[in-house]
Amino acid sequence: MINRAYEEEHARAEALFQHIGTGAIATDELGRIYRVNDAALDMLEYKRKEMLGEWFPRVVIEVDQTGNITNQLERPIARAFVSGKPISENTYYRTKTGKIIPVSLTISPILLNGRPIGAVEVFQDITVEFEVDRMKTEFISIASHQLRTPLSAINTYANMLNSGFYGELNKEQKTHMGTIIQAIERMNGLISTLLDVSQLEAGKISVKPQKLEVCGLIRSLIQDHQQTGGNRNIQIKVICPHVPVIVTCDRLLLGEIYSNLLSNALKYSRENGVVEVKLKNLKNEIVFSVKDNGYGIPKKMQRYIFKKFYRADNIKRIDTTGTGLGLYLVKQIADVLGGKVWFESVDKKGSTFYFSLPKDPQTL
């Protein structure tokens, strides 16, 4: 009776595994593949007998976009065993014939009484999605370039009109010109962000490392952002080491990260709030943090916060002008610079965003 029940359960699991519609591979606790479905075999171009019993890292080869093999400790399967939790991400696999395919995967450790007895991975080829995304990025890049030229002309003439170059404006005209100029600035900012995103995604961003003093950079950015909080009386508190903190980094890119985090904290702080900007000088890295007592990010939305065009629901209701590109840009630049970005947030209480950067890029 028990055997029959076991056999039925096994048959159901096998059918589910084989016909799940995405590639699926199961390994034992020593990384040996003991089950693989047809979709996985098709994508990786292996025959079943070539995969069964094989060591997972030998046949499921993870590479970067250019074909370099990923460090085994950084692979999702290793990170799943380190964290004990499922890992989902997009990466690249090299097939048996050497073809590089982008995949979206989820890998999870299989546990028995809290101890690992293997792992199961499901994955799918996302070549088409990648191509669509690339075309979309290319379109945004071209459209942004095309928009910038006429916008420069509008900006120039609007400012000339506003400054009285073509004759004095009355009070009402001045008010309307102010609105026009603000809208131009917002559109300019949006175009710059879109261009930054498309350059980063196309791998065209160039990093120009130079020695720079970070506290000075932070103070000058704070000065630039004095108006971001509007008339909500937001106080900015700065905690920086008393000695100069020198790092080797691209000034513009680092400034872009700090600026985005600072601007978000100011935008999403409540009236009479305090934004605390802190720089910690550690042995091998510096950690920049921005803490606000604003709206916070609801827990269920936190995992999506660095995704492109994503905006948490509570913020969409408060501010309708955001693009959802700021934090995506921060994450992309952080990756380019070899830094790490993360946050802590409590819904309705506020968030703290952190960005750590190695002092010397060679220590990466």
**Contacts with other proteins, residue ranges (CB under 8 A):** 29-31, 55-58, 72-73, 75, 77-78, 81-85, 109, 114-116
Closer CB to other proteins, residue 109 or residue 294? 109
Q: How far apart are CA 307 and CA 158, in angstroms?
A: 35
Asked if residues 306 and 355 have their Cβ atoms less than 8 Å apart, the reply is no
Q: How far apart are CA 171 and CA 347, in angstroms?
A: 43
Least distance (Å) between residue 86 CB and other proteins: 13
Closer CB to other proteins, residue 5 or residue 73? 73
Closer CB to other proteins, residue 85 or residue 219? 85
Least distance (Å) between residue 61 CB and other proteins: 13
Least distance (Å) between residue 99 CB and other proteins: 23
Closer CB to other proteins, residue 73 or residue 282? 73
DSSP 108-140: EEEEETTEEEEEEEEEEE-HHHHHHHHHHHHHH
Q: How far apart are CA 135 and CA 132, in angstroms?
A: 5
Burial track 79-105 (b if 16+ CB lie within 10 A, e otherwise): ebbeeeeebeeebbbbbeeeeebbbbb
Least distance (Å) between residue 360 CB and other proteins: 18
Closer CB to other proteins, residue 115 or residue 204? 115
Least distance (Å) between residue 114 CB and other proteins: 6
Closer CB to other proteins, residue 118 or residue 339? 118
Asked if residues 244 and 222 have their Cβ atoms less than 8 Å apart, the reply is no
Least distance (Å) between residue 239 CB and other proteins: 27
Q: How far apart are CA 46 and CA 36, in angstroms?
A: 10
Helix (H, G, I), strand (E, B) or coil at 56: helix
CA 20 to chain centre: 29
Closer CB to other proteins, residue 57 or residue 209? 57
Q: How far apart are CA 274 and CA 350, in angstroms?
A: 11
Least distance (Å) between residue 31 CB and other proteins: 5
